[in-house]
Amino acid sequence: MSTFPTHRPRRLRQSPAMRRLVAEHTLSASALVLPVFVTERDEPQQIASIPGVRQETLATLPAVVQAAADAGIGGIMLFGVPLHRDAVGSGATRPDGILNRAIRVAADASAGRLTVQADLCLDEFTDHGHCGVLDGRGAVDNDATLERYAAMAIAQADAGAQILGLSGMMDGQVAAVRGALDAAGRTDVVLLAYSAKYASAFYGPFRDAVESTLVGDRTTYQLDPANAREGVLEADLDIREGADIVMVKPAGPYLDVLAAVAQRSPVPVWAYQVSGEYAMIEAAAAAGAIDRDRAIMESVLGIRRAGAAAILTYWALEIAARLREGARALGTEVQA
């Protein structure tokens, strides 16, 4: 007599409707954030290593913001690409610096329909490409950098940024920025701490996007890819210092860290699907090796499944459009 299985999990996979009904995780447009690069040049610049992504200008930025708002995504993260840089990144704190000007333009264009977020780091503004100021030996001076971050936070808040992305990985950066903002009466500004930011090879295309001048690497302040517990510790420290949101970056290669942080964090946990992750899928799809559309959705859903409440991804607009098309096909609205 044949023995048949008692448990048949395939029952719950037999149709699209059944699979939707029992899905453990879903994507929503409102949980996506679009990174946007803004140049001081007069014309947008294509970024060869990030296909489909370009440096916007102050003139083209409003259309991007409005498209993002129309798509229902949760926010945009702004990065500045200045034409002139110096040792202390003075352009980061000038009101007429490209990033602060972009924040003002985006805040006006958004009209409150999405969150305007700004990268708070010096690497785009320093002539040496490091995320902080250097000491006499050429090493990044942690505490001197904190003073620059505090000034940068005030400048970005004054320009209209609602969320500041602290991405420099300096010890004590959350406490320093929170203290400066509170002292200035800006207790309303949200701090997104890039808590577990790893010294990753996957940032390569991003450095093209911001025209990085970095010589060497950032291994003395970004996390060692071999360490998971250290990423959890960094998140714990940032939460104690007052971070409103913590983040793991990159996302795909560090899903274990993301899951561990999400399991214990009392604040929202986000993840950044970085430029190298994006570029790999685009390259593999262009070579005919994978199904592009399925790979995009699978990669982002995997990040969501690991515990990310929101995801920074260069596909934010495309994914939002796809979610909307799917909802229309079902006769429903996109989840907000």
Residue 260 host element (H or E): helix 255-264
150 part of the active site: no
Q: How many CB atoms lie within 10 A of CB 282?
A: 21
Q: Which of these is catalytic: 85, 101, 178, 249?
A: 249
CA gap 97, 273 in Å, rounded: 27
The answer to whether residues 100 and 155 touch, using CB atoms and an 8 Å cutoff, is yes
The CA-based dihedral angle spanning residues 295, 301, 306, 307, taken in that order and rounded to the nearest 10 degrees: 150
* Tokens encoding 269: 């946990």
* Tokens encoding 254: 């560090």
328: left (phi over 0), alpha (psi -120 to 50) or beta: alpha
Nearest to 17 by CA among 331, 265, 247: 331
Q: Which of these is catalytic: 101, 128, 130, 197?
A: 197
Tell me the Cα Rg of the chain: 21
The answer to whether residues 195 and 261 touch, using CB atoms and an 8 Å cutoff, is yes
Those residues whose C-beta lies under 8 Å from the C-beta of residue 153, and which sit 6 or more positions away, are: 120, 164, 177, 180, 181, 189
280 part of the active site: no
Catalytic residues: 197, 249
